């Protein structure tokens, strides 16, 4: 199985991708993007939304759910998070 290499990524890259997606990055967005990137770097796979929500809610006092993600990433949370984070989309991403 061939593993896709992570794209050359930096904050400017993420802001440009987010802008193309119609998203103005705020701290809530960055928390999710950094989590997704770190997860990918550690496990060599993009985090499924369910795992992402569980892990973020363990660390944060302000709980989020799938509806919160849709508000932050309205077109398709899995796809938009992956694009902005510069990582491959999750395997079970629609």
Which residues are part of the catalytic machinery?
Answer: 93
Separation of alpha carbons 93 and 50, rounded Å: 12
Concatenated DSSP letters for 31-67? HHHHHHHHHHHHHSSPPPHHHHHHHHHHH-SS---HH
Q: Which two tokens stand for residue 93?
A: 């991403």
């Amino acid at each position: 199985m061939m593993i896709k290499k992570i794209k050359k990524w930096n904050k400017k890259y993420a802001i440009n991708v987010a802008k193309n997606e119609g998203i103005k990055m705020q701290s809530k967005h960055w928390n999710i993007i950094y989590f997704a990137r770190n997860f990918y770097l550690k496990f060599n796979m993009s985090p499924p939304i369910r795992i992402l929500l569980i892990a973020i809610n363990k660390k944060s006092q302000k709980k989020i759910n799938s509806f919160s993600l849709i508000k932050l990433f309205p077109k398709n949370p899995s796809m938009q998070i992956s694009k902005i984070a510069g990582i491959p989309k999750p395997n079970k991403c629609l």
